[in-house]
Structure 1
Amino acid sequence: MPAEKPNQKLVVAVSSRALFDLDESHRIFETQGKEAFCRYQIEHENEILEPGFGFALVKKFLDLNLAFPDEPLVEIILLSQNSADTGLRIFNSIAHHQLNITRAAFTSGVSPYAYIPAFGAHLFLSANGDDVRKALDAGCPAATIVSGAASNPTSQLRIAFDGDAVLFSDDSERIYQQHGLAAFAANERNEAHTPLPGGPLKAFLSALHRIQTHFGPETAPIRTALVTARAAPAHERVVRTLRAWEIRIDEALFLGGMPKGAFLKAFGADIFFDDQKGHCDSAVLHQVAAAHVPNGITNRPES
């Protein structure tokens, strides 16, 4: 019996530099300016771009639509600081790689984050850290992809998340950073039955969950994991929060401060989202693609 079609698709916005390797043209922009960059892109618009850090992830997202070819589960939106003129090379490359991407915003050097809510995107994945910060400041879910890796060999899409400041707010992280581990642990014990406020990627996880619920556990095309530095007894509030949100997490790893990379590799993550660059670096060491969510006190310590 076929799975029931979800009533709302997942929308992921991706920048051109996250999707394709544009390092060469970006160097020209940085060293020679906008006019030289535009000339270069037009002169090379029939040369196909190689995949970037986010290409394999985007391909797996689009492959989810094979179950419902007439009503897709996922839509990928292109958000690019290129102009429409210089963006021809990008769309030529999209066509060459047979990616079903039809909607785009080209903003000619202006950060495209304002179009995230207009497109209804649950995530903006970019290689530009400034654009990601602007998006987060505007209340939009966003992450900076900092590395790429070959996706896990199965067709299943596997996505791992940190907890505090990513899926959850950084309220508890602030207590830890400002008052230490003992104060953090005491607060989490006292607030164990109080759900944590949502963080920037809560809506993205919710959209993934919505797709999962329309498949049986053995056939679900998406598998998720929470990979957090928390340990018992601080785990209880996390479990109760996800229960209150009515969101399923397939695997939960409470590592008590251990490096995350080896666990992400064991999970087979196609990508890992974390607010701390150190944890992203640990993922990279184990050939796991990582995306930095520059949110919360660890990224913007208060003076």
Structure 2
Amino acid sequence: MVSTDQKTDVKEKEADCPVVVAVTSHAVFESGGAEDPDGLYVGGIAFPLLQALQKVNERLLKENPAESLLFDVILITTESQQQQQSSRITESIRHHGLKVSRFCFSNEEDFMENLLNNNVHLFLTTNRNEALQGSQKGVLSVLLDEHTASCPTEQLRVLFCGDAVVQSEAGPALASKQAAQSFSAQIGKMRGRFGLFDSPISIALVTSRGGRESCGDALRTLRSLGVNADEAYCLAGVPRGPIKRLLRPHFLLSECFSSN
């Protein structure tokens, strides 16, 4: 069973062509349903990311009140206990100052229906199986980890990995690649709304293998999608862990470079 609640008190401008981002409640709230003294859910891993998305929307609307390219956030709940306490979820979202346009409640078997019916461009979760299911259905899916909790809230940081991973299953690989390219193009347009400095979006590229040629090829691929990277790093075999800790990206994208 799937149900969707439209939030009626959202004051943000309705977007004509929004970038739909779906995030699971177990990523937004601490695992185990931890509550504060007021009985509201405690913020979890995805909080800095959602705050960064809001900051991008605020800056876009400040630059142009008629802006139509905005993030539209959907909260998806698959945990039965939280579904029974939907009012607590909405109150917790409001209490923490997060802007969510829709609340979708479904069981674990059919949550994919919500992603597809809402034309989700990016799906965020802390559940590896959910991320895999999303990718197999052609939805760009990102697995969040504990590092996301320490990311900035004032700037959305996206890291592109230029090291292509060749996938043997042409169907899901092609759909996943197309979804990643579409989302990347939208992020590129958003970034293009701002100047070189003081942007609420930062885009970086990293290539772990190969030399300058590999990095150059990856940069050209991004530019063909309309994405201009703010920073690029050619590691030439050096582990990328240190640079990730330095950049603190909210998520990493690699599907747009993959072969099929």
TM-score normalized by the length of structure 2: 0.75
Local SS of the residue matching 1:149: helix
2:28 matched to 1:19?
Answer: yes
**1:58 aligns to what?**
50
Q: CA RMSD in A?
A: 3.1
Displacement of 1:22: 2.6
CA contact (8 A) 1:111 1:131 kept: no
TM-superposed CA distance for 1:95, in Å, is 1.2
Deviation at 1:244, TM superposition (A): 2.5
Structure exhibiting the larger radius of gyration computed from Cα positions? 1
1:256 aligns with 2:255: no
Aligned counterparts, 1:208-219, within 5 A: 208-219=187-198
Change (3 A) 1:234 1:243: same
Quote the Cα distance in structure 2 between the aligned partners of 1:266 and 1:243.
24
Q: Distance in 2 between matches of 1:266 and 1:128?
A: 25
Amino acid at match of 1:79: I
CA distance in 1: counterparts of 2:108 and 2:86, whole angstroms: 12
Alignment of 1:80 onto 2:77: yes
User: What CA distance in whole angstroms lies between the structure 1 residues aligned with 2:218 and 2:250?
Assistant: 21
Alpha-carbon deviation of 1:135?
0.8
Where do 1:42-53 residues align within 5 Å? 47-53=39-45
Q: By how many angstroms is 1:24 displaced?
A: 5.1
Q: Which has the higher contact order (CA 8 A, sep 6+)?
A: 2
Match of 2:210 among 218, 231, 234: 231
What's the counterpart of residue 185 of structure 1?
Answer: none
Displacement of 1:134: 0.8
Letter in 1 for 2:74: I
SS of the residue aligned with 2:210? coil
> For residue 206 of structure 1, what is the amino acid of its counterpart?
A
Partner of 1:180: none
Runs of 4 or more consecutive aligned structure 1 residues displaced over 4 Å after TM superposition: 69-72
The one-letter code matched in structure 2 to 1:138 is K
**Is the contact made by 1:159 and 1:224 (CA closer than 8 Å) also made in structure 2?**
yes
Instruction: Report the counterpart of residue 290 of structure 1 in structure 2.
Output: none
Query: Alignment identity in percent?
Result: 27
**Secondary structure of residue in 2 paired with 1:248:** coil
> Cα offset for 1:13?
0.6
For structure 1, list consecutive stretches of 5 or more residues without a partner in the other structure: 1-5, 26-40, 175-196, 276-292, 298-303
Matched residue pairs, number?
Answer: 227
Aligned to 2:223: 243
Structure 2: how far apart are the matches of 1:228 and 1:274? Answer: 12
Return the letter of the residue paired with 1:230: R
- 2:228 maps to amino acid: R
Equivalence for 1:221:
200
Q: SS of the residue aligned with 1:56? A: helix
CA distance in 1, matches of 2:226, 2:186: 12
TM-fit CA distance, 1:137: 0.7
- How far the C-alpha of 1:219 sits from its partner, in A, is 3.7
Q: 1:103 corresponds to which residue?
A: 102
SS of 2:218's equivalent in the other structure is helix
CA distance in 2, matches of 1:95, 1:24: 17
Q: What is the alpha-carbon distance in structure 2 between the residues aligned to residue 50 and residue 203 of structure 1?
A: 33
Distance 2:110 2:143 in 1: 14
Q: Quick one: distance in 2 between partners of 1:48 and 1:64?
A: 26
**1:151 partnered with 2:151:** yes
Counting only pairs closer than 5 Å after superposition, residues 1-303 of structure 1 correspond to structure 2 as 8-23=17-32, 47-67=39-59, 68=61, 73-82=70-79, 84-147=83-146, 148-152=148-152, 155-164=154-163, 170-171=165-166, 198=177, 201-232=180-211, 233-267=213-247, 269-273=248-252
Alpha-carbon separation, structure 2, partners of 1:200 and 1:228: 21
Q: Any gaps of 5 or more consecutive residues in structure 2?
A: 1-14, 169-175
TM-score, length-normalised on structure 1?
Answer: 0.65
